[in-house]
Amino acid sequence: MKFSGLKEYAYHKIREKLISNEIKPGERIWEEEIAAELGISRTPVREAINRLVAEGLVENRPRKGVFAAEISKNELRKMLSVRTVLETLSVSQCCKLITEAEMYELKKIYDNYKSAMEKGDYEKASQLDSQIHRYIAKISGNRRLENYINDIQDFFAYARPHKVKWTETKIKRSLQDHKKLVDAICNRDEDSAIAIIKEDIAAMDDLLKNS
């Protein structure tokens, strides 16, 4: 990826650390350490952090420092109603446009997700869960829609591993829901895919509510 300047470079690198959970919610962020790691001065790092504060991924706590944001379950649940609208459209378009090569790739992402879940690597599984939805949005061919979904998925990939307590029943349901979604899309069954995505998001709401 090409960056327009050091501020943009720092922003993407720090955001990447947050979304991948290399920097976890509630963890202190040290400007000087990030600057040294990236080989740049503290000024672009500070500007990048200010942008992430505005986005809600970072918190500037007076007299304490800068920390990775701790996003509440209620905040995540509020995002789910938005996700339902956006991903219903995304899935609908994907069913119409998906190619055989894209079907293969979507199934491969699901297989990786399934493997991570079965191994109990829930942080990785969370990233792959988001990747499934991001890829569906990419196939939709609507760049603005894709950007909106990516933004919401970033928050879920960042916060979900620390907010959801997985049980055997929840794992089984999540795997089944995602498998049904992938199968419906690959069969170009738009009505079923829309119903399944709504059920999947409702299940996430239950997970957050009951965790």
| CATH fold for domain 73-210 | Four Helix Bundle (Hemerythrin (Met), subunit A) (1.20.120)
Task: Let me know: does 53 contact 170? Beta carbons within 8 Å.
Answer: no
pLDDT at 156: 82
* Statement: residue 187 has pLDDT above 80: yes
Q: What is the mean pLDDT of residues 185-210?
A: 90
Select from 164, 155, 153 the least CA-distant residue to 70: 155
pLDDT at 1: 63
Rounded to 5°, the CA angle 64-70-73 comes to 150
Cα separation values, 134 from 25, 44, 75, Å = 22, 29, 21
| CATH fold for domain 6-68 | Arc Repressor Mutant, subunit A (1.10.10)
Kindly indicate the confidence band of residue 164, based on its pLDDT and cuts at 50, 70 and 90: low
pLDDT at 8: 92
pLDDT at 97: 96
pLDDT digits (tens, 9 = 90+) for 93-127: 999 999 999 999 999 999 999 999 999 888 888 88
Q: What is the mean pLDDT of residues 189-205?
A: 91
pLDDT at 146: 95
* Statement: residue 163 has pLDDT above 70: no
Question: Over the chain, what is the mean pLDDT?
Answer: 90
How far is it between the farthest Cα atoms of the chain?
Answer: 56
Give the DSSP H or E segment for 114: helix 100-119
Encoding tokens for residue 174?
């999540």
pLDDT at 19: 87
Q: Return the domain boundaries, the chain.
A: 6-68, 73-210
Give the side-chain half-sphere CA count within 13 A for 98: 26
pLDDT digits (tens, 9 = 90+) for 53-64: 998 899 999 889
* Statement: residue 40 has pLDDT above 80: yes
Encoding tokens for residue 2?
């090409």
Burial annotation 168-180 (CB, 10 A radius, 16+ → b, else e): eebbebbbebbbb
- Dihedral angle of Cα 177, 23, 54, 88, to the nearest 10 degrees: -10
pLDDT at 170: 81
Q: What is the mean pLDDT of residues 33-45?
A: 95
pLDDT digits (tens, 9 = 90+) for 64-100: 999 999 888 888 888 898 999 999 999 999 999 999 9
* Statement: residue 129 has pLDDT above 80: yes
